Amino acid sequence: MKKNARLQTWMNEWDPDPGAVLPREYRAFFFLFNRRQYYEAHDVLEALWLPCLDENRSFYQGLIQLAGAFVHFDKQALFPEHPVHMRRLAPGCRLLDLAAARLGRFGPLHMRLDVVAVLSICELWKTRAQQCGSPLQTHKPPELQLEIESAQTRGLQTRGESV
């Protein structure tokens, strides 16, 4: 089964909230990222990014680059002695820089994502990769959460929306 058909099958089977306002690929990105399925998170959001023609195109690309960085970190952590995978930290750090540059144009809150928090994650994990060599072996992976807006708070944001 080809990648697009596999993604479509998976997306049709997985949708925790079919009535949600945010695109299901976007919500699936966070679900997959938080399960350490970084490559799949990248793929599912790419399906939303490719046809996108509005200002969110760059936002999605930044998130894809963030997931890509963690693909590199994950491969390096899983195969630290492999001749290719052992050199994945530098490309991962470059992707974090690219993600931060793109995402920094948005926010502080965009599409219910705390962009400032994500920028902090980019900086923290770049520092960890440069200092300890294999950040996913020594640190708990980050989790990305969407903010929710309550009618009672009228614009005040609280953590905890499930994706």
Domain that includes residue 126, residue range = 23-161
Give the CATH number, domain containing residue 126.
1.10.3450.10
Residue of higher predicted confidence among 124 and 88: 124
CB 81 within 8 A of CB 89: no
Residue-level pLDDT at 76: 81
In a domain, 7, yes or no: no
Reported as a pLDDT band with limits 50, 70 and 90, residue 12 is low
Domain-located, residue 79: yes
**How far apart are alpha carbons 98 and 29 in whole angstroms?**
18
Top pLDDT among 9 and 97 is at: 97
Asked if the structure places residue 9 within a domain, the reply is: no
Is residue 81 over pLDDT 80?
Answer: no
The per-residue pLDDT of the chain, averaged, comes to 82
pLDDT bucket at 154, cuts 50 / 70 / 90: very low
DSSP 25-88: HHHHHHHHHHTT-HHHHHHHHHHHHTT--STHHHHHHHHHHHHHHHHHHHHHHH-TTSTTGGG-
